[in-house]
């Protein structure tokens, strides 16, 4: 495979947003927390959507983990919509493989071809109907803004997630902040997700193709991420 570049190669990841957040909450964060606290209970039911059993989604992960792509992470204090309650895990899913790639590699200016050997694209199917909240509808019906639910510190967005979970939801549809496409976060108390989701297939990125195109072509031409030899 030839070297493919969309920008100068760089193997170092930028600092993750979560790890660089201030320890003192900003005035904006305090204002968003107040908005979340003021959300009326009956608004949540108006934002409800069912995700049907059998729905297929995509998840990109490092390593194969025995061919299993389902994982509800209970140790997720650095993730936007984790509950961080010590018992409930969260799994983030994309509606397209392109968004799954962009979400994972968004802080990468470039990759090496050999890096693709370490990542696996999983196709995950839901094993039951799931009741989820549509964040876009919540924004329409409240004082919350898209900026509030995507750029606030993790402590703020996690509080929103806890409020939604307490209202009886299994997860949320939310907009990806890298592609704008709708993504799905699900919550479950079992890390392996038994009875909730299962892996239909899993492919190493070195072998993965989408509509006859290699992963490197998608990363470079569609997502602006360089892939270099090595």
pLDDT in tens, 5-32: 333 323 333 223 333 455 578 999 999 9
Residue 4 falls within a domain, yes or no?
Answer: no
**Sign of the torsion angle spanned by Cα atoms 152, 153, 158, 163:** negative
pLDDT for res 76 = 84
Our count of domains for the chain comes to 1
Domain around 161: 24-108+118-207
Is residue 169 over pLDDT 50?
yes
CA-CA distance, 91 to 102, in Å (whole number)? 16
Say which residue the tokens 């370490």 belong to.
118
In order of 12, 62, 119, 121, 229, the CA distances from 113 in angstroms are 15, 15, 11, 16, 5
| Residue 76 lies inside a defined structural domain of this protein | yes
What's the average model confidence in pLDDT over 47-65?
Answer: 98
Quick check: 116 and 215 in contact, CB under 8 A?
Answer: yes
User: 80-136 pLDDT, tens per residue?
Assistant: 999 999 999 999 999 999 999 999 998 888 899 999 999 999 999 999 999 999 999
Q: What is the mean pLDDT of residues 194-211?
A: 97
Q: What is the pTM of this model?
A: 0.88
Domain presence at residue 187 = yes
Q: Assess if residue 15 is contained within a domain.
A: no
Evaluate whether residue 182 is within a structural domain. Answer: yes
Q: Is residue 17 part of a domain?
A: no
């Amino acid at each position: 495979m030839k070297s493919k570049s969309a920008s100068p190669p760089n193997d170092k990841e930028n600092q993750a947003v979560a790890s660089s957040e201030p320890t003192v909450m900003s005035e904006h964060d305090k204002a968003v927390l107040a908005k979340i606290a003021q959300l009326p209970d009956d608004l949540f039911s108006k934002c409800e959507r069912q995700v049907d059993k059998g729905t297929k989604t995509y998840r990109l992960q490092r390593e194969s983990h025995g061919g299993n792509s389902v994982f509800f992470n209970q140790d997720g204090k650095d993730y936007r919509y984790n509950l961080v309650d010590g018992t409930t895990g969260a799994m983030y899913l994309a509606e397209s493989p392109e968004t799954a790639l962009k979400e994972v590699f968004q802080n990468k200016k470039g990759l090496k071809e050999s890096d693709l050997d370490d990542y696996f694209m999983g196709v995950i199917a839901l094993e039951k109907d799931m009741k989820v909240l549509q964040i876009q509808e919540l924004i329409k019906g409240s004082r919350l803004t898209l900026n509030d639910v995507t750029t606030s510190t993790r402590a703020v967005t996690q509080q929103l997630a806890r409020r939604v979970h307490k209202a009886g939801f299994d997860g949320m549809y939310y907009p990806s902040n890298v592609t704008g496409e709708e993504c799905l976060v699900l919550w479950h108390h079992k890390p392996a997700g038994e009875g909730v989701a299962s892996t239909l297939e899993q492919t190493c990125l070195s072998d993965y193709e989408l509509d006859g195109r290699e992963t490197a072509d998608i990363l470079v031409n569609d997502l602006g991420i360089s892939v270099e030899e090595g």
